[in-house]
Structure 1
Amino acid sequence: MTKGLVTIFGGSGFIGRYAARELVKKGWRVRVACRRVNLAGEVRLAGAPGWVDIAQANIRDRASIERALEDADAVVNLVGVLTEKGKQTFESTQADGAALLAEVAAEKGITRFVQISAIGADAESKSHYARTKAEAEEAVRKAVPTATILRPSVVFGPEDEFFNKFAQMARVAPVMPAIGGGKTKMQPVYAGDVAEAIAVSVDDDTTAGKTYELGGPRVYTMNEIYDFICKTISRPRFKISLPFVLAKPIGYLSGAVWRYVPPFSWGFLGQPPVTGDQVEMLKTDNVVADDALTLEDLGVTTLETPEAIVPTYLWRFRDYGEFHKASEA
């Protein structure tokens, strides 16, 4: 017997794989809705045969959303982008896409809806990413008032685009850019802990209509994160303070190269080192607010730390990879 069917939009991505596993553990069947089903085979391993299915869907296309939500009892929206490229813009995916998904869910009578947002979501922010995250929250709550909104800080795990990106940067660059002096604070949270929060939000009706901010057990400055990464991969690097006023135009140029020049432009990093929008977000600390509902309120109390998890996947950035002497790491 199962509790029902949950459709996860963006479920083939980084957090989605963890979320699918946690939902199956709690007795839910999972339908993973994604644009490229040929790249989603790995997520099937989140459960036994018959528990995880894959459906082609595009959050910008109503017909495909309707098919993906057929017979669904709950919806999780994980769709989002860190950098814009082609039709994958902040507006089309994070704002308009979430609004359309919530609208269709409401039409089908689905009241269990989990929207993955981000700490810093703010309709008044100068960051396009943060603004569209806030617009998505408003649209989802308007269509489905019982929706649960989860706002994680920076999420880490083996497939992340945070620790991996800066480790790759440290491997190829002699210095690390400390934007704004490297004083911005982060509260990295493990993908597995975010997934557990998602599963609880789907499973527990008392989370309906509430907003939670998800952060790890410790707050770090960007300088501390750089030091941790460089020590972990045994690559000491100097940090150069880069004022926001200089970093922002550099970021816009970097983002433009990524968006308008062929994909190999930043092939050695996968993504641009930083974009102008990301520089704008670095002006504000990315930590859980003092008065916010948190992971603890969701019953997720045993939290993983970067020190425990990150070294298990950053070893590949060392000179000799996994064979690098532990004393040197």
Structure 2
Amino acid sequence: MLKNFARKLPSFANKRNFTTDQFKVLDLEKSHFPLVATVFGATGFTGRYIVQALARTGVQVVVPYRGEDWTFRDLKVLGDIGQIIPVRYDIRNEESIERAISHSNIVINLAGRNYDTRNFSLQDINVDAAERIARISQNVDRYIYVSALNASEDASSEFARTKALGEKVSRKHNPKATIVRPSIIFGDEDRFINKWSKVSQNWPFIPRFNSEHKIQPLHCSDFAKGILSTIENPQAVAKTCEFAGDETFTWDQFLDMIIEGTAQYDRLNLPVSTEFMKMVAGPMEQFSRDPNFIVDEIDYHNQDLVVVPKKDVLTLKDFGVKATPIQEKLIRLSRMYRPSKFFNAIANPQNK
């Protein structure tokens, strides 16, 4: 997919001076990788799909990571020998960021949080780190910043506000940056289908809030295709892209699908207010490392998360990407949460 784009750029070996201490696996003068991409946030949920998609097109991928070495092990097998290059970094250390992008033609910033942790706040990751990476990456050929749908400085959600500020600082330091705003992303190990399936399995009731608000869930593989399209197509330079699924659902319709997928037909459907859910989410966020519900996320979801056609805003359709229907994936993703008697059954409440 990226072959035509690769021909337009200087060769990988000629473009930058390489140090053998950073890239020991390859003879860089004879490297067969025409492009190099650094993917911040590669060890996260969507990052692995981006790395795999890039590797399949012959791009060498630099994977900045923090923490233990096992965090990148699953990424190493996504490419050829020497194609996936892990580099330890600290998001607050500019020298380590420079080292991670020093040989790259492409930089993709997927790093982000939707709630504060003990080590990083939303401001730290979504704004300060975004500014740092964009400033250091201002001379690369393609810079892509992944934001969020409905990001706005006036939003009630701090997540949406900080993502909007991240867009602002990215464009400030790199006017040719491509901003990508994805909708809710689902897939293996997501915090969408899996989260609600766990709730249906473990809770005696299904909390129904924001029921009439609309969503357009996007599969992780389609998100990766969209990111690759923004790299390949010159029309995406300095543009904003909004990626979402083709189908629109209300939250009530989605939760009905979750009940079908998990076959948890005996759960009580309990309508609750967003304020009540915030009261429930507060202690979870404080005392759990992996909370089911987050106060700010409830605020963020208290709106329609759909792509509305706008002038100069590109969508997946502009790149010829057809989104995967959620029904094709939901049963496989939610089956593990079923009672044993329904595990192999076709979900149908009349046959319970």
TM-score by length of 2: 0.85
Aligned counterparts of 2:51 and 2:342: Cα–Cα separation in 1:
29
**What secondary structure does 2:181 align onto?**
strand
For residue 245 of structure 1, the aligned residue among 266, 275, 286 is: 275
Q: Who is 2:228 aligned against?
A: 199
Q: Who is 1:306 aligned against?
A: 326
The CA deviation string for residues 247-271 of structure 1, in whole angstroms up to 9 with x for no partner, is 333333332233xxxx4xxxxxxx2
Q: Who is 1:48 aligned against?
A: 80
**What secondary structure does 1:304 align onto?**
coil
**What secondary structure does 1:75 align onto?**
strand
Q: Who is 1:178 aligned against?
A: 208
Check if 1:316 corresponds to 2:316: no
The CA deviation string for residues 249-308 of structure 1, in whole angstroms up to 9 with x for no partner, is 3333332233xxxx4xxxxxxx222222112112211111222421111231x2211100
8 Å contact from structure 1 (residues 9, 59) kept in 2: no
The CA deviation string for residues 80-121 of structure 1, in whole angstroms up to 9 with x for no partner, is 112221122211111111110001112xx2141111111021
Select between 246-255 and 14-23 the one with higher mean Cα deviation: 246-255
RMSD over aligned Cα, in angstroms?
Answer: 1.8
Letter of the 2:241 partner, please give it: Y
Which structure has more relative contact order (CA 8 Å, sep 6+)? It is 1
Q: Who is 1:162 aligned against?
A: 192
Letter of the 2:65 partner, please give it: C
Aligned counterparts of 2:251 and 2:217: Cα–Cα separation in 1:
11
**TM superposition shift of 1:322:** 9.0
Select between 148-157 and 36-45 the one with higher mean Cα deviation: 36-45
Select between 94-103 and 31-40 the one with higher mean Cα deviation: 31-40
Letter of the 2:55 partner, please give it: V
Q: Who is 1:91 aligned against?
A: 123
For residue 307 of structure 2, the aligned residue among 254, 268, 288 is: 288
For residue 30 of structure 1, the aligned residue among 61, 76, 82 is: 61
For residue 82 of structure 1, the aligned residue among 114, 118, 128 is: 114
8 Å contact from structure 2 (residues 263, 347) kept in 1: no
Aligned counterparts of 2:335 and 2:274: Cα–Cα separation in 1:
31
Aligned counterparts of 2:230 and 2:90: Cα–Cα separation in 1:
24
8 Å contact from structure 1 (residues 98, 139) kept in 2: yes
Aligned counterparts of 1:120 and 1:239: Cα–Cα separation in 2:
29
Letter of the 1:297 partner, please give it: D
**TM superposition shift of 1:60:** 2.3
Aligned counterparts of 1:25 and 1:99: Cα–Cα separation in 2:
30
8 Å contact from structure 1 (residues 252, 277) kept in 2: no
Cα distance change, pair 167–321 in 1 and its aligned pair in 2 (3 A): farther
8 Å contact from structure 1 (residues 177, 240) kept in 2: yes
Aligned residues: 314
Q: Which has the larger radius of gyration?
A: 2
TM-score by length of 1: 0.90
Gaps of 5+ in 1: 264-270
Q: Who is 2:171 aligned against?
A: 141
Aligned counterparts of 2:90 and 2:40: Cα–Cα separation in 1:
9
Cα distance change, pair 321–31 in 1 and its aligned pair in 2 (3 A): farther
Q: Who is 2:17 aligned against?
A: none
Letter of the 2:171 partner, please give it: R
Gaps of 5+ in 2: 1-31
